[in-house]
Amino acid sequence: MGFTYAHGLVLVMAAAASMLEVSVANKDWVSKSNYTGWGWGWGWSSNNNPLNETEGPNKIIVGGSENWRFGFNYSEWAFQNAPFYFNDTLVFKYDPPSNNTFPHSVYLFPDLWSYWNCDLKRAKMIANATQGGGDGFELALNRWRTYYFACGERNGFHCKVGGMRFMVMPLFRWHY
Query: Which residues of this protein are in contact with ligand NAG, per CB under 6 A?
Result: 21-23, 26, 34, 52, 54-55, 73, 75-76, 86-87, 98-99, 128-131, 142, 163
Residues whose CB is less than 8 angstroms from the CB of residue 118 and which lie 6 or more positions away in sequence, other chains included: 150, 156, 159, 160, 165
Considering only residues 112 to 151 of the shown chain, the ones binding Cu ion according to CB under 5 A are 151
Q: Residue 131: which of 151, 116, 111, 114 has the closest Cα?
A: 151
The footprint of Cu ion on this chain (CB under 5 A) covers a number of residues equal to 5
158 binds Cu ion (CB under 5 A): yes
Taking CB within 5 to 8 Å according to partner kind, which of Cu ion, ligand NAG, none is near residue 75?
ligand NAG
- How many Å separate Cα 174 from the centre of its chain? 21
Report how far apart, in Å, the C-alpha atoms of 123 and of each of 8, 26, 145, 167 are: 28, 31, 15, 14
Which does residue 158 touch among Cu ion, ligand NAG, none (CB within 5 to 8 A, set by kind)? Answer: Cu ion
Task: Give the relative orientation of helices 74-81 and 2-19 as an angle to the nearest 10 degrees.
Answer: 160
Q: Which of 104, 118, 127, 136 binds Cu ion (CB under 5 A)?
A: 104
Q: For residues 48 and 100, which CB has a smaller minimum distance to Cu ion in the complex? A: 100
- CB closer to ligand NAG out of 27 and 121: 27
Bridge partners, 108 (sequence order)? 124, 149
- Report the SS3 class of residue 61: strand
Task: Return the bridge partners of 165, or none.
Answer: 150
Q: Select from ligand NAG, Cu ion, none the partner in contact with residue 153, using the beta carbon and a kind-dependent cut-off of 5 to 8 Å.
A: Cu ion
Beta carbon nearer to ligand NAG, 99 or 121: 99
Considering only residues 19, 57, 91, 153, which one is a binding residue for Cu ion as defined by CB under 5 A? 153
Binding site for Cu ion (CB under 5 A): 104, 151, 153, 158, 164
